[in-house]
């Protein structure tokens, strides 16, 4: 009965209902002594950053299917550091749930945003020196995180060689600018020389693809322009908005989750169907006659 009730509460139908809000509040209030599972709290949408949780957990699950026990998660644009703090905390949950260790990296200038390069960087909304970081305070808060400080156009070049990261499986991109997002994609220049630094498919979150009438994000500026240009310029890697989450209209972050397909990665074609494919095949078996 407990399992049945849990399945009902996390179903999309219930999550869309008017009852979902008070039930979420009740789960939050009772979590201290009920000790709900992390998976249940994710499905109930009461974790602090569900989009970060989703990408990190799913990347770890893919890693397990590919035989990895350690991966990396990167945040481009750390700012105050709340996202990186959450990543480090949730990495412990991922370890408990999957056995996979997640190393957390944060790229930032440490001094706020650089100067915008032009109109595509939305200078009417973003400006130099916004979102400064208190570097000593953040390092003290999450000493296990690896901060990569400096302008991304400079720090991205030697990152793989210097840090030798475990396969990168989750990327959170909050660089704001078109130019900084463009520079972050240069990470993929290292796939051929360092394939072990990447999972063949990655879970990505882009912060600045949705906004208000003030930001006016679109295909001709900001992060969306950077994604479109990147996809048009080469065929080895393609970045696209997820398709499997789009029907779940109770998930506020569904339009900001993207996937990167690293088509030339040596393990891209490694079969990962496993038990899920077996389950689907069982459902499709011819039923016995009446």
Chain segment 241-262, per-residue pLDDT in tens = 999 999 998 899 999 999 999 9
Query: Residue 226's pLDDT is what?
Result: 98
Rounded average pLDDT over 46-54: 93
Distances (CA, A) of 271 to 25, 40, 62, 240, 257: 41, 28, 11, 21, 23
Please state, for a pLDDT cut of 90, what percent of the chain lies above it: 76
For residues 14 and 4, the model is more confident at 14
Coil vs helix vs strand at 140: helix
Q: Please state, rounded to an integer, the average pLDDT across all residues of the chain.
A: 92
Q: Is the pLDDT of residue 159 over 90?
A: yes
Residues in CB range of 22: below 8 A, 6 or more apart? none
State the Cα–Cα distance between residues 80 and 264, nearest whole angstrom.
Answer: 36
Query: Residue 136's pLDDT is what?
Result: 94
Q: Quick: pLDDT tens for 12-37.
A: 887 888 887 888 888 888 988 888 88
Coil vs helix vs strand at 53: helix
Q: Is the pLDDT of residue 232 over 70?
A: yes
Task: Give the chain's end-to-end CA distance (angstroms, integer).
Answer: 31
Which residues in 1-86 belong to E strands, given as ranges? Answer: 70-76
Q: Is the pLDDT of residue 284 over 60?
A: yes
Rounded average pLDDT over 81-88: 97
Query: Residue 290's pLDDT is what?
Result: 63
Q: Quick: pLDDT tens for 113-150.
A: 999 999 999 999 999 999 999 999 999 999 999 999 99
Give the largest CA-CA distance in the chain: 72
Q: Answer left, alpha or beta for residue 35, where phi above 0 means left and psi between -120 and 50 means alpha.
A: left
State the Cα–Cα distance between residues 107 and 88, nearest whole angstrom.
Answer: 14
> How sure is the predictor about 2, in pLDDT bands with cuts at 50, 70 and 90?
low
Element (H, E) at 169: strand 168-173
Q: Is the pLDDT of residue 1 over 70?
A: no
Query: Residue 237's pLDDT is what?
Result: 98
Distances (CA, A) of 238 to 43, 56, 230: 29, 20, 8
Rounded average pLDDT over 180-195: 97
The C-alpha R_g of the chain, in whole angstroms, comes to 20
Residue 131 near residue 112, CB atoms below 8 Å: yes
Query: Residue 5's pLDDT is what?
Result: 66
State the Cα–Cα distance between residues 152 and 138, nearest whole angstrom.
Answer: 19
């Amino acid at each position: 009965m407990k399992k049945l009730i849990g399945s009902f509460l996390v179903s999309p139908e219930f999550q869309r209902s008017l009852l979902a809000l008070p039930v979420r509040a009740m789960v939050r209030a009772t979590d201290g002594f009920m000790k709900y599972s992390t998976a249940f709290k994710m499905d109930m949408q009461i974790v602090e950053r569900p989009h970060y949780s989703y990408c990190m957990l799913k990347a770890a699950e893919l890693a397990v299917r590919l035989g990895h026990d350690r991966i990396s998660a990167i945040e481009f644009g750390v700012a105050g550091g709340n996202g990186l703090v959450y990543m480090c905390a949730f990495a412990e949950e991922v370890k408990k749930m999957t056995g996979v260790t997640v190393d957390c990296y944060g790229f930032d200038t440490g001094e706020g945003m650089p100067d915008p390069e032009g109109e595509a960087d939305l200078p009417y909304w973003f400006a130099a020196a916004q979102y400064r970081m208190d570097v000593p305070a953040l390092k003290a808060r999450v000493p296990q995180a690896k901060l990569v400080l400096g302008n991304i156009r400079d720090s991205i070049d030697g990152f793989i060689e210097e840090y030798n990261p475990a396969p990168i499986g989750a990327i959170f991109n909050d660089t704001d600018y078109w130019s900084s997002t463009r520079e972050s994609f240069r990470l993929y220049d290292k796939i051929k020389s360092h394939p072990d630094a990447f999972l063949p498919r990655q879970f990505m979150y882009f912060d600045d693809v949705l906004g208000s009438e003030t930001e006016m994000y679109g295909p001709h500026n900001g992060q969306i322009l950077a994604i479109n240009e990147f996809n048009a310029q080469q065929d080895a890697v393609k970045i696209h908005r997820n398709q499997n989450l789009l029907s779940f209209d109770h998930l506020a972050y569904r339009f900001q989750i993207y996937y990167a397909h690293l088509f030339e990665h040596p393990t891209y074609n490694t079969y990962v169907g496993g038990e899920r494919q077996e389950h689907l095949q069982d459902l499709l078996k011819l039923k016995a006659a009446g």
